[in-house]
């Protein structure tokens, strides 16, 4: 597949990728902050309150962010087809992993954890199933954090090379 590109399209793709990345990392950071605030022994009321924030953040920040992030990485991959480097392929794979982990594991577990938080709050007792599901949700969120940090490291280490090639006019943008 051949896609025509221009400097403005490439800049727009980079900006949208940065927005998607920021939304992903920002939502994960907010979840980490809430977990830190909760301390080692959070109350049932706090866990219920926390889930009232998690669901909207997940629906309006995380989900749009991961899809923006993925679509623009696909766009960059297709645009740079002749000049594609291994690093761009790795970035695309990492973006697929972030989306897959979020859509297949984290979001379903987050919905389950929120449901259990309501049950827990109504029963006024801790549910073992809540802890198990929340641990899986948090662990997979940590894995996505790792994917995003690796993505950033690869991007920062490799994109100056592409910028240098453009300056030398070896890439026709």
Render pLDDT for 53-86 as a digit per residue (tens, 0 to 9): 888 888 898 899 999 889 888 888 887 766 667 8
Residue 64 forms part of a structural domain? yes
Residue 72 forms part of a structural domain? yes
Half-sphere exposure of 101 (CA within 13 A, CB side): 22
Residue 107 forms part of a structural domain? yes
Residue 2 forms part of a structural domain? no
- Whether residue 165 contacts residue 2, with contact meaning beta carbons closer than 8 Å, is answered with no
> Count of domains in the chain?
1
Q: Which of 83, 90, 109 minimizes the C-alpha distance to 10? A: 83
Q: Among 1-10, 13-22, 42-51, whose mean pLDDT is lowest?
A: 1-10
Residue 173 forms part of a structural domain? no
Residue 172 forms part of a structural domain? no
Render pLDDT for 85-143 as a digit per residue (tens, 0 to 9): 788 889 999 999 999 999 999 999 999 999 999 999 999 999 999 999 999 999 999 99
Q: Which domain holds residue 122?
A: 7-167
- Report the C-alpha gap between 78 and 48 in whole angstroms: 44
């Amino acid at each position: 597949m051949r896609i025509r590109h221009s400097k403005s399209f490439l800049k727009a793709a980079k900006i949208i990728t940065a927005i998607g990345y920021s939304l992903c990392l920002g939502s994960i950071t907010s979840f980490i902050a809430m977990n830190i605030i909760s301390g080692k022994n959070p109350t049932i009321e706090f866990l219920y309150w926390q889930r009232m924030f998690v669901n909207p953040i997940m629906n309006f920040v995380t989900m749009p962010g991961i899809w923006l992030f993925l679509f623009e990485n696909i766009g960059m991959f297709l645009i740079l087809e002749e000049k594609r480097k291994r690093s761009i392929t790795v970035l695309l794979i990492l973006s697929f992993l972030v989306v897959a982990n979020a859509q297949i594991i984290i979001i379903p577990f987050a919905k389950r954890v929120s449901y259990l938080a309501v049950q827990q709050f109504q029963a006024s007792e801790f549910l073992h199933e809540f802890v198990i599901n929340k641990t899986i949700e948090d662990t997979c969120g940590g894995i996505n954090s790792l994917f995003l940090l690796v993505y950033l490291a690869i991007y920062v280490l490799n994109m100056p090379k592409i910028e240098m090639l453009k300056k030398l006019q070896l890439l026709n943008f």
